[in-house]
A and B are shown apart, each in its own frame.
Chain A
Amino acid sequence: MSAIEARDLRRRFGDGVEAVRGVELDVAEGEIYAFLGPNGAGKTTTVRMLTTLLRPTGGSARVAGHDVVAEPGRVRRAIGVALQEAALDPLMTGRELLHLQATLHRIPRREGRGRAEELLARVGLSDVADRRVGTYSGGMRRRLDLATALMHRPRVLFLDEPTTGLDPVSRKTIWDEVRRLNREGTTVFLTTQYLEEADQLADRVGIIARGRIVAEGTPQELKAQVGKPHLEIAIAGDGHERARAVLARYGRELPATDGRLLVELSDGASEVAPIVRALDESGIAVEALELVEPTLDDVFLAKTGEHLED
C-alpha cells in the first residue's frame, strides 16, 4: 500500500488561479520523498491538501490508506505536520506547546508529559523547554516544530520547507533527524526549494513546476536523464595532444573550455581512478582535475527551461 497517493489532484482558488494542476503521486511506505520546486510551484498547496487543511477542487488523494476528503479524521490521526515557517505560538513555552500537542492528539496526560520530555531531549531543547518560543532561534523553532509533529508517532510525516532560512549547521541537524526518523520507519514527505536537500535526503524526488510534476525518480535517475558526468582536466606543460589520445579510450571528448580537456564518463565516477593512472603512466602531468556531475538544477532546467537556483 502506498503511504501517499494522489490522482489528478487539483486546486483552483477563488481568483481563478489553478495552483495545482493534476498532480499524480505514489509514495511508498518508509520512503523519503522530496517535492522540489521554486516558490509558487504548488508545493505548499499540495501539502495542505494532503494534510486535510485544504479541500481539493479536483482529483483524489489518500494518505496512510485514507481518503483526505472522506476520512479527514483518520488522515489526521496518521500524519504529523510541520508547516512552513514553523507555525508556533511565540508566547508559549516549548514544553507547553508539546503538552498542548499531546492533548490535541488525545494522548493521556501522563503519557503525553513523558513523551514531551523524550522529544525535547531528542531535539536538544530540554534546557530551553520553559523559555517562550519567541526567544528561540530559527533552528530551535524548527526542531521544536518537528518534535510537535512527532508527538503521536505519526506514520507519515509532512515537512513543508523544513530548513528554509536556516544556517548550514541547523539544516544538517534537521536532516540528521529526518534520516533517523525514516530509519525508524516513518514515511517522510518534504517540500523544498533546495537542490542539495532533495539530493541528500530523498529516496525519490518529484520536481514540480507551475502546479505539475515535470519529472520524478531517484536523484541519480533524474540526473542520468540529462547527461553523464564528465571529467574536467587541466594539463601541465605540452602534454595536451597526448592526453587527448589517452582520454579518448575512456569516453567522448566534449568541447574544451579555458584550455581544459573535457571527457564524458559513460560509466560515471568509477572511471576517474583508471584515467588518472593512465595519464600518469603516459607521463602526462595533471595540474587540476574535477569531476562534474549533472545536478538536479540541470534536470529542472531541462524540464522547465528555467533554473531552480540563481
Chain B
Amino acid sequence: MVEALLANARVVAALGARSIRQTFRRPQLAAPIVVFPSLLLAVQTGGAGRAVELPGFPEVAGFLDFMLAGAMIQSCLLAGNSGGIALALDLEQGFADRLFAAPVSRFAIVLGRLAGTAALGALSALYYVLIGLLFGVTFEEGLGGIALMVLWATLAAIAFGSLAAALALRTGTASVVQGMFPIIFVILFLSNAFFPAQLMLEPAATVAQYNPLSFVVDGIRDPVISAVSGEGAAKALLSIAGFAALGFCASALALRRRLRHG
C-alpha cells in the first residue's frame, strides 16, 4: 500500500515536472500565464490609477496594491486553463495513451498535470509579488502575508486546473479548452478582481458580490491592503474547495467515461 502510494507520488512528481517544462517550452502555454496578466496590470494601473480616489474605493496605498491580487488570480485561472489545453493536446496527440497504458493509477496522471499547474500558480504568484515589491507595493501583512497569498494562488491554480482538466478529459479537444479564454475573462470582470464590487453598476455588482472568485481574490488581496481575517480566509478556502470539488468530481467522471467508452 505504502509502496504503491510512493510509486504514484513519484509519477505525480515526474508528470508535474514534465508539465512545467512543457509550459516553458511552448510559448502559447506560458504567454497567457505571464504576459496577459502583466499587460493588463500595466495598462490598468497606468490608465485607471485615479480610481482609488472614487468614494467607496477600499483604502489602499496605490492602485497597484489593489490590482496585484487581480493579476494573480487571472494568472492562476490562465495557468489552470493552459494545463487543460496541454492535457487535451496529450489526448489529441495520443501521448495520454502512453500514460494510460502504464501500470499507475490513472488519476495520478491527472494529478501530475495539476501538480505542474500548482507549481506554475506558485511561481506566477511569486512573480507578481516581485513586481509589487519593485513598484512600491506595501504588503501590510509582511512575509507571512506573502506566504498566504502564494498559498491561495497555488490552491486556486489547482482548483481551476481541475476544472480545465475535466473539460479536456470530457472533450479531448484542445481548441474547446482554449475556447474558455473569453469565458474566463467574463468571470474575472464579473468579480472584484479588477474593480471593487461595491462600485460596479447593477446587476454586475450583485454578481461580483456573490461570485466565489471574489472571495478568492479577497483572500489574496487582504494581506496586501489590510489585514487577514478569519472570515475572509474561510471564505477564500471554501470557495477554492468548492471549485476544486467540482473540478475533481467532473474530472473523475470524465476520466471514467473516457476510459470506458474510448
Q: Which residues of A contact B (CB under 8 A)?
A: 13-14, 48, 51-55, 73, 76-77, 79, 81, 83-85, 87-89, 91-92, 96, 99-101, 103-106, 132, 148
Q: Are A105 and B94 in contact (CB under 8 A)?
A: no
> A54-B262, A81-B101, A84-B94 known; 20 other A-B pairs, CB under 8 Å?
A13-B262, A51-B101, A73-B103, A76-B102, A83-B97, A85-B94, A87-B97, A89-B22, A91-B21, A92-B22, A96-B21, A99-B14, A100-B15, A100-B18, A103-B11, A104-B14, A104-B102, A104-B104, A106-B10, A148-B98
> In the complex, which residues of chain A have a beta carbon less than 8 angstroms from the beta carbon of B22?
89, 91-92
Contact check: which of A87, A100, A106 meets B103 at CB < 8 Å? Answer: A106
Nearest opposing residue in chain B for A19, CB measure: B262
**Which single residue of chain B is at the shortest CB-CB distance from A54?**
B262
| Interface Cβ pair total, 8 Å cutoff | 75
Q: How far is the CA of A132 from the CA of B70 in the complex (A)?
A: 36
| Interface presence of B99 (CB below 8 A) | yes
Per-position binary interface string of chain B over residues 72-112, scored 1 when its CB falls under 8 Å from any chain A CB and 0 otherwise: 00000000000000000010011101111111100000000
How many whole Å from A15's CB to the nearest CB in chain B? 11
Q: Is B253 an interface residue (CB 8 A)?
A: no
Q: Interface residues of B, CB < 8 Å — how many?
A: 26
* Chain B 160-209 interface residues, beta-carbon cutoff 8 Å to A: none
Distance A106 CA – B105 CA, assembled complex (angstroms): 12
> Is the beta-carbon distance between B104 and A89 smaller than 8 angstroms?
no
Q: Provide a sorted-by-A list of 22 A–B residue pairs whose CB atoms are within 8 angstroms.
A: A52-B101, A53-B100, A54-B262, A73-B103, A77-B103, A83-B97, A83-B98, A87-B93, A87-B94, A88-B95, A91-B22, A92-B22, A96-B18, A100-B15, A103-B10, A104-B11, A104-B14, A104-B103, A105-B103, A106-B7, A106-B103, A148-B98
B11: A residues at CB distance < 8 A? 103-104
Contact of B102 among A48, A92, A105, A132 (CB under 8 A): A105
Determine which residue in B22, B100, B260 has the highest number of CB atoms from chain A within 10 A of its CB, and name it.
B100
Interface assignment of B26: CB less than 8 Å from any CB of chain A: yes
Given A87-B98, A88-B95, verify A55-B103 contact (CB < 8 Å). Answer: no
Q: Are A89 and B103 in contact, CB atoms less than 8 angstroms apart?
A: no
Is B25 interfacial (CB 8 A cutoff)? yes
Does B43 lie at the interface of the complex (its beta carbon under 8 Å from any beta carbon of A)? no
**Any chain A CB within 8 A of the CB of B259?**
yes
CB pair B262–A91 under 8 Å, yes or no, is no
